[in-house]
Amino acid sequence: MIAPPRSAVLLLLLSLLALATSAHGADPLSAYCGSNGNFTANSTYGANLNTLLASVAAADGRGFYNLSTGGSPDAVNAIALCRGDVGAADCRSCLNDSAAEIARQCPVQKEAIIWYDNCMLRYSNRSIFGVVEVSPYLYMWNVNNVTNNVDQFNQDLRNLTDDLRDRAASGNSTRKFAVGNATAPKFKTLFGLMQCTPDLSQLQCEDCLTRAVGDIPRCCDQKEGGRVIYPSCNIRFEVYPFFDSSAYESPESPPLAPQVSPPPPPTNNTSTKGTSF
């Protein structure tokens, strides 16, 4: 009996993962399939990509992975990142879903990215490690407007984002992530989150997050919440808790709101923009 080629076995595994994802997994926030070239299913690049995605699907949930498979001109490079407050089990589940779904949505493209609430996965035939990427990008916003004390709200948000940017960028080579909160007008609390892929340097992370904050007026001006998501970093703010309170860095900085399950957030609008790779 002739054994099937290894690439065919890996492709079957990813197909089975895709079926499991469609039945049980969360929906992705967005995905982009690159326009810089395609591959064929039986090509060396296709086999290398299948091997890499199988590795992502089998990840142990540590949170950050930079992977490479194959040699030029068929090398595939990938970055997988879980949100910093997500536990290992949820991280594994999200990466499993992302590996299957990116193969389904971008079956022949040599470059692609997919975002979930809990993780991000991207791969390319070019070098992507240690490079700040701000396109394609994704905007999401809370439908509720800030109706009073807009200037004070914006100042409180600015103070919070300045603090989170500095703390996230000062992280290490496995984690560049920060959460925090601040008092906002009308007795509300602002909650914020920032994260970079840890392959970036401190200065690169600061630059990426500064750009993301600069997009807030275009994304979600005078909104009670919003998200700016790049391949290399992402930011989010809301007036309700949306991250795990265990992500706070020390007992001296507890959440200001009671530690209860947050209410269902208001419906978010989503805008996906930016040139495809």
pLDDT value at residue 246 = 86
Coil, helix or strand at residue 123 = strand
Helix locations, the chain, DSSP H: 6-24, 44-57, 88-105, 150-169, 202-214, 216-220
pLDDT in tens, 63-75: 999 999 999 999 9
How far, in Å, CA of 68 to CA of 72, rounded? 11
Chain mean pLDDT for the chain: 86
Q: Which domains does the chain have, with CATH numbers?
A: 6-124 (3.30.430.20), 137-273 (3.30.430.20)
How far, in Å, CA of 195 to CA of 197, rounded? 7
pLDDT value at residue 252 = 35
Radius of gyration of the chain (CA): 19
Confidence of residue 41 (pLDDT cuts 50, 70, 90): confident
pLDDT value at residue 261 = 37
Token pair 């990116």 in the structure block, residue: 102
- Is the model more confident about 271 or about 217? 217
Q: Do the beta carbons of residue 164 and residue 180 sit within 8 Å?
A: yes
